Amino acid sequence: MTISWKNGILYVKIITESSVAHMKSDIPFPTIERLCTIYHLLEELYENGIRSLSSKEIGAYIGAGAHTVRKDINYLGEIGKGRAGYDVALLKNHLMNHLGLTGHKKACIVGLGRLGAAILEYARLALSGFDMVAGFDRNINKLETIKTAITLYPAHEITTIVRRNGIELAVLAVPAQAAQEAAHRLIDGGIKGIVNFSPALLQTEAGVVIRNIDLINEFRIVTVLSGLSIDTQ
């Protein structure tokens, strides 16, 4: 709760859970991306024993101005009054709570080729609150070959397993031609978000968040951007 006195009027601002949740819809998309990066940064710095951090320092780490960082953080409401920058632990929890990053979320992976298998072994996921609970592949032989603690299923069971286990997130690491069908199965199972490593341009459905990651597209963007910086020198 914040109390302030301005122009002869007493302002009492009460931030409740629901008003915070509603406010979130007012957060600009770039701000959400930056806040997630800041959250990541705070985790890292806290592990390294850093307990206080200014907006200027945060900006330097994530490649943004101090203004932007303060504005971003303030979309989630007031946190640290005054002096010596932000308390790292406090801000980290603040972001966690307001961004809804508390607790563990269940995730699965579709496509157990080289890339899929690599992601399956990514230990940091569980440490960050994302539990890989299922893997899928069209090729049944692959399910026997791969050694993992996670249960593996044939691709046609995606919908059932996702729904039954309440899996919220999925990684798509199948070849392009299999991507759309797999995405449909995930969506039918009630998945909330898909991180798509295939080069397929998925037809999205309302309510499902899709993030596309395509190395070739990234290379092209880098090429165009670096072409720019050279030409404009």
Q: Which residues bind DNA (CB under 7 A)?
A: 2, 4, 6, 28-31, 54-56, 64-68, 70-71, 73-74, 77-86
What's the min distance (Å) between Cβ of 84 and DNA? Answer: 6
Q: Of 69 and 107, which CB lies nearer to a copy of itself in the complex structure?
A: 107
Residue among 66, 90, 99, 146 that touches a copy of itself (CB under 8 A): 99
What's the min distance (Å) between Cβ of 97 and DNA? Answer: 15
Partner that binds at residue 154, options a copy of itself, DNA, none, CB closer than 5 to 8 Å by kind: none
Partner that binds at residue 55, options DNA, a copy of itself, none, CB closer than 5 to 8 Å by kind: DNA
32 is a contact residue toward a copy of itself (CB under 8 A): yes
Binding residue count for a copy of itself, defined by CB under 8 A: 68
What's the min distance (Å) between Cβ of 77 and DNA? Answer: 7
Q: Please tell me the distance from the alpha carbon of residue 149 to that of residue 146, in angstroms, as a whole number.
A: 10
Query: What's the alpha-carbon Rg for the chain, to the nearest Å?
Result: 21
> What residues does 212 pair with on adjacent strands?
196
218 is a contact residue toward a copy of itself (CB under 8 A): yes
Distant-in-sequence, close-in-space partners of 200: CB < 8 Å, separation ≥ 6: 176, 177, 179, 180
Summarize as ranges the residues that interact with a copy of itself (CB under 8 A). 18, 21-22, 24-25, 32-33, 35-37, 39-41, 44, 61-63, 99-101, 105, 107, 113-115, 117-119, 121-122, 124-125, 128, 130, 168-169, 171, 192-195, 199, 201, 204, 207-209, 211, 213-232
